Structure 1
Amino acid sequence: MKKLTEREDQIMQIIWQTNGLFIRDIVAELPEPKPHYNTVATIVKILVKKGFLESTKIGNIDRYSALIPLDDYRKKHVEDIKKKYFGNSLTKMMAHFAKQEKLSDSEIEELITIIKSKKS
């Protein structure tokens, strides 16, 4: 699975939150300064070519929806980060985030609960 560029990711985040959008709707959801319609259309066509999006013709307009679910994309790239930066160690990766994020006591308890529930 290919990695998304920053702008592609921004567009995919919008599409993952919906059941599908037209290009004009994607443009409307993007932050200011909004890119030109043609710029978004070009990026969307690239995402179709990469296999991230599919288009459905409604009248003479294409509606775009995700082919790759957010969870699948996230899982793949978290695994890549774990391998590349943490020697494929989940413990090292979690320790890094625990130290960097300055977790609250309730967040630590929540993580402990999640980890314990995975053991059973």
Structure 2
Amino acid sequence: MKKLSRKEEELMQVIWDLEKAFVKDAIEHLPDPKPHYNTIATLMKRLEDKGFLAHHEYGGSYEYYPIVGKESYKHTFMKKVLNTFFDNSYLNMLAYFAKEEKISPDEMKQLVKMIEKDKN
């Protein structure tokens, strides 16, 4: 799976949320300042070329829809982060967040309960 730029990821988030979108629909759901129509049209075409989107054509207008799911992309992205920054160790990743105080002891306990529940 090809890597997406920050702007491509932002646009994919919108399309995943909407499930399908014309360029104007996507623009409406992007934060201000709104990008130019041609910018988003180009990004959508690029995402289609990368295999993330496909489209239906309606009289010359393209309605895009995702062909790569959000969960699939998240899985691939997180595996790469885990491998690149944490030596492919979930323990190292969790330790990082604990040391950075991004996860509290209570949240860590909740996480352990979630893992135990999923294992049973």
Following superposition, the deviation at residue 74 of structure 1 comes to 0.5
CA distance in 2, matches of 1:35, 1:91: 40
CA distance in 2, matches of 1:56, 1:98: 46
User: Could you tell me which residue of structure 2 aligns to residue 103 of structure 1?
Assistant: 103
Give the conservation status (yes or no) of the 8 Å contact 2:98–2:104: no
Q: CA RMSD in A?
A: 1.4
CA distance in 2, matches of 1:40, 1:61: 14
Structure-2-length-normalised TM-score: 0.91
- Secondary structure, aligned partner of 1:57: strand
Following superposition, the deviation at residue 73 of structure 1 comes to 0.4
Structure 1: unaligned runs, 5 residues or longer: none
Query: After TM superposition, which residue ranges in structure 1, 4 or more long, deviate above 4 angstroms?
Result: none
Deviation per CA, 1:79-118, whole angstroms, max 9, x where unpaired? 0111111111111111112332443454223201112124
CA distance in 1, matches of 2:59, 2:98: 51
| Aligned residue pair count | 120
User: Could you tell me which residue of structure 1 aligns to residue 114 of structure 2?
Assistant: 114
1:33 and 2:33 aligned: yes
- Secondary structure, aligned partner of 1:25: helix
CA distance in 1, matches of 2:81, 2:2: 14
Deviation per CA, 1:13-56, whole angstroms, max 9, x where unpaired? 00011220110011111111111101110010000000000101
CA distance in 2, matches of 1:106, 1:17: 31
| Fraction of identical pairs, as percent | 38
Structure 2: unaligned runs, 5 residues or longer: none
Following superposition, the deviation at residue 59 of structure 1 comes to 3.4
Structure-1-length-normalised TM-score: 0.91
CA distance in 2, matches of 1:44, 1:102: 34
User: Could you tell me which residue of structure 2 aligns to residue 87 of structure 1?
Assistant: 87
